[in-house]
């Protein structure tokens, strides 16, 4: 028999019991790395490539950040269709997805702005369709938000007033040893 006949027989067999195929979605991840303008990532497979940036470099809860991606195909050049960009809290219920078209000023670049509501671990998601649907994800850490200017001014005012009250107490308060001792009871 020919080798192809043996190969056909092997490939037509049902998978063994308990066989779990490998999840290819787990392989479609990217890693963010620091860059002069923020964070950046690159991803590629045999057909497509994705380059992206996240700015600013330090992500804080409550502060917006921008995710920008450029998607291209090795065979047919740059992608024209829409791209879905997203932010999802790991182990949480927060999800934000935005399907965007490329801008007219910089075609083939997709931008979305997200704001993480709290600090923690998040996944950035990039989904597009070239020859078939592809979904990429990359982990990102969001730090605690900065103190708002109103809160900072309020805390500063409290500290200044407490210092002023303590200074006045030291200046005008009774000095130790100057109080009169009570005398004998009146008869």
Does 6 fall in a domain?
Answer: no
Q: Between 6 and 57, whose confidence is greater?
A: 57
Does 84 fall in a domain?
Answer: yes
Does 112 fall in a domain?
Answer: yes
Does 160 fall in a domain?
Answer: no
Does 127 fall in a domain?
Answer: yes
Does 11 fall in a domain?
Answer: no
Structural domain count of the chain: 1
30, pLDDT greater than 80? yes
131, pLDDT greater than 80? no
Question: Any idea what the CATH number is for the domain that residue 107 is in?
Answer: 2.60.40.1930
Does 54 fall in a domain?
Answer: yes
113, pLDDT greater than 90? yes
First to last CA, the chain: 133
Domain that holds residue 87: 23-142
Render pLDDT for 154-187 as a digit per residue (tens, 0 to 9): 888 999 999 999 888 888 876 655 556 566 676 6
* pTM, 2 dp: 0.63
| Cis, bond preceding 115 (omega within 30 deg of 0) | no
């Amino acid at each position: 028999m020919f080798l192809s006949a043996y190969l056909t027989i092997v490939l037509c067999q049902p998978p063994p019991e308990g066989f779990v195929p490998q999840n290819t979605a787990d392989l479609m991840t990217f890693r963010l790395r620091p860059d002069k303008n923020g964070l950046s990532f690159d991803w590629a497979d045999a057909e497509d490539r994705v380059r992206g940036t996240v700015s600013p470099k330090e992500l804080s809860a409550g502060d917006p950040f921008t995710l920008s991606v450029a998607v291209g195909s090795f065979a047919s050049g740059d992608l024209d269709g829409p791209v879905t960009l997203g932010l999802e809290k790991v182990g949480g219920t927060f999800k934000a997805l935005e399907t965007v078209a490329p801008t007219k000023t910089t075609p083939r670049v997709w931008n979305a702005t997200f704001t993480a509501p709290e600090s923690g671990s998040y996944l950035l998601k990039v989904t597009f369709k070239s020859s078939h649907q592809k979904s990429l994800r990359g982990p990102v850490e969001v730090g605690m938000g900065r103190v708002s200017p109103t809160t900072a001014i309020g805390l500063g005012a409290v500290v200044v007033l407490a210092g002023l009250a303590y200074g006045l107490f030291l200046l005008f308060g009774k000095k130790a040893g100057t109080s009169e001792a009570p005398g004998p009871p009146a008869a």
